[in-house]
A and B are shown apart, each in its own frame.
Chain A
Amino acid sequence: MVRDLLLIYGIFAIYYVITINTIYFGIIMFSFRKIFRIMKETFYSKYDFLSGSKHMPPISILVPAFNEELTIKENVQSLLALHYPEHEVIVVNDGSGDNTTKVLIDEFRLNYYKPIPAEQNTLPTAEVKGVYYNPEFPKLYLIDKENGGKADSLNVGINFSNYPLVSSIDADSLLENDALIRIARKYMENPEEYVAIGGNVRIANGCSIAYGMVQKVRLPKKLLPMLQTVEYVKAFLGGRIGWSDINGLIIVSGAFGVFRKDYVLKIGGYRGGYPGEDMNIIMKLHQYMLDHKLPYKIDFCPDAVCWTQAPDTFKILGSQRKRWGRGNLKNMLELGTQMFMRPRYKVMGWLTVPYNIIFETLSPYFRITGFLALVGYSLIDMTAWNIVAIFMLINVLYGTLIGMGSLLIEELAFRRFPRIRDYFKMVLYTILMFFGYRQLGILWRFLGHIQFFRKNNSWGTMTRTSWNEDEKKEEAA
Chain B
Amino acid sequence: MSDTHMSSSIINSFNNFLQYYQASNLPCGLIIVYASLDQKGIHSLKTYLEKEEPSTAFQVSYDTEHHILGILLDDCDLGYTHFYALHVKDYLEEQNQLLGEMVVGNFPENSDHAEWMLYRMMNEMMINQRNQQEIRVFDNETIQNTDKKTILIVDHDNSILHLLTNYLQRKGYIVYAAVDGKNGLEQYQKLFPDLVITEINLSGIGGHQFINQIKTIDKKTNNHSEIMVLTNKHLEEDIKRTFEHGAAEYITKPFSLIELEARIKRLVEVTE
Interface residues of chain A, those whose CB is within 8 Å of chain B, are 48-49, 51-54, 77-78, 80-81, 83, 85-86, 136-138, 177, 210-215
Is the Cβ of B203 less than 8 Å from the Cβ of A213? Answer: yes
Is the Cβ of A51 less than 8 Å from the Cβ of B201? Answer: yes
Q: In the docked arrangement, what's the CA distance between A215 and B3, Å?
A: 9
B231 at the interface (CB under 8 A from A): yes
Known contacts being A85-B235, A212-B204, A213-B1, is A49 close to B181, with CB within 8 Å? no
B202 at the interface (CB under 8 A from A): yes
B157 at the interface (CB under 8 A from A): yes
- Chain B residue contacts of A51, Cβ below 8 A: 201, 232-233
For B233, give its contact among A85, A136, A137, A177 (CB under 8 Å): A85
Considering the complex, give the chain A residue whose CB is closest to the CB of B233: A52
Considering the complex, give the chain B residue whose CB is closest to the CB of A77: B205
Q: In the docked arrangement, what's the CA distance between A196 and B182, Å?
A: 34
For B182, give its contact among A49, A136, A138, A211 (CB under 8 Å): A211
**How many residue pairs between the two chains, A and B, have CB atoms under 8 Å in the bound complex?**
66
For B204, give its contact among A49, A85, A86, A211 (CB under 8 Å): A211
Is the Cβ of B180 less than 8 Å from the Cβ of A211? Answer: yes
Considering the complex, give the chain B residue whose CB is closest to the CB of A48: B232
Is the Cβ of B203 less than 8 Å from the Cβ of A81? Answer: yes
- Chain A residue contacts of B156, Cβ below 8 A: 177
For B1, give its contact among A83, A136, A214 (CB under 8 Å): A214
Is the Cβ of A211 less than 8 Å from the Cβ of B209? Answer: no
Is the Cβ of B234 less than 8 Å from the Cβ of A177? Answer: no
Is the Cβ of A54 less than 8 Å from the Cβ of B1? Answer: no
- Chain B residue contacts of A78, Cβ below 8 A: 203-204
Q: Mark B245-272, 1 if CB is under 8 A from A, else 0.
A: 0000000110000000000000000000
Q: In the docked arrangement, what's the CA distance between A76 and B238, Å?
A: 19
Is the Cβ of B253 less than 8 Å from the Cβ of A49? Answer: yes
B237 at the interface (CB under 8 A from A): yes
- What is the minimal beta-carbon distance from A419 to any residue of chain B, in angstroms? 15
Beyond A80-B206, A211-B205, A214-B1, 12 extra complex contacts between A and B, CB < 8 Å: A48-B232, A49-B253, A52-B200, A52-B233, A52-B234, A52-B253, A81-B209, A83-B232, A137-B209, A211-B182, A211-B204, A213-B180
- What is the minimal beta-carbon distance from B215 to any residue of chain A, in angstroms? 11
- Chain B residue contacts of A137, Cβ below 8 A: 209
- What is the minimal beta-carbon distance from B154 to any residue of chain A, in angstroms? 13
B13 at the interface (CB under 8 A from A): no
Considering the complex, give the chain B residue whose CB is closest to the CB of A85: B235
- What is the minimal beta-carbon distance from B53 to any residue of chain A, in angstroms? 33
B142 at the interface (CB under 8 A from A): no
Considering the complex, give the chain A residue whose CB is closest to the CB of B232: A52
- Chain B residue contacts of A81, Cβ below 8 A: 181, 201-207, 209
Q: In the docked arrangement, what's the CA distance between A298 and B234, Å?
A: 30
- Chain A residue contacts of B182, Cβ below 8 A: 211
- Chain A residue contacts of B235, Cβ below 8 A: 52, 54, 85-86
Is the Cβ of B234 less than 8 Å from the Cβ of A53? Answer: yes
Q: In the docked arrangement, what's the CA distance between A215 and B182, Å?
A: 13
Q: In the docked arrangement, what's the CA distance between A365 and B172, Å?
A: 75
B212 at the interface (CB under 8 A from A): yes
Considering the complex, give the chain B residue whose CB is closest to the CB of A74: B204
- Chain A residue contacts of B204, Cβ below 8 A: 77-78, 81, 210-213
- What is the minimal beta-carbon distance from B18 to any residue of chain A, in angstroms? 24
Is the Cβ of A48 less than 8 Å from the Cβ of B157? Answer: yes
- Chain B residue contacts of A214, Cβ below 8 A: 1
Q: In the docked arrangement, what's the CA distance between A54 and B237, Å?
A: 10
Q: In the docked arrangement, what's the CA distance between A290 and B253, Å?
A: 43
Max chain B C-beta neighbours (<10 A), residue from A137, A177, A214: A177
For B237, give its contact among A77, A86, A212 (CB under 8 Å): A86
Is the Cβ of A136 less than 8 Å from the Cβ of B212? Answer: yes
A-B contact list, 16 entries, CB within 8 Å: A48-B157, A48-B232, A48-B253, A49-B253, A78-B203, A78-B204, A80-B206, A81-B203, A85-B234, A86-B235, A177-B156, A177-B201, A211-B180, A211-B204, A213-B203, A213-B204
Q: In the docked arrangement, what's the CA distance between A199 and B202, Å?
A: 21
Is the Cβ of B234 less than 8 Å from the Cβ of A83? Answer: no
Give B183-221 interface residues, CB cut-off 8 Å to A: 200-207, 209, 212
Q: In the docked arrangement, what's the CA distance between A51 and B206, Å?
A: 13
Considering the complex, give the chain B residue whose CB is closest to the CB of A84: B201
- Chain B residue contacts of A48, Cβ below 8 A: 157, 201, 232, 253
Q: In the docked arrangement, what's the CA distance between A283 and B235, Å?
A: 36
Q: In the docked arrangement, what's the CA distance between A174 and B171, Å?
A: 41
Q: In the docked arrangement, what's the CA distance between A359 and B232, Å?
A: 48
Known contacts being A48-B157, A54-B235, is A211 close to B203, with CB within 8 Å? yes
- Chain A residue contacts of B157, Cβ below 8 A: 48
Q: In the docked arrangement, what's the CA distance between A52 and B181, Å?
A: 18
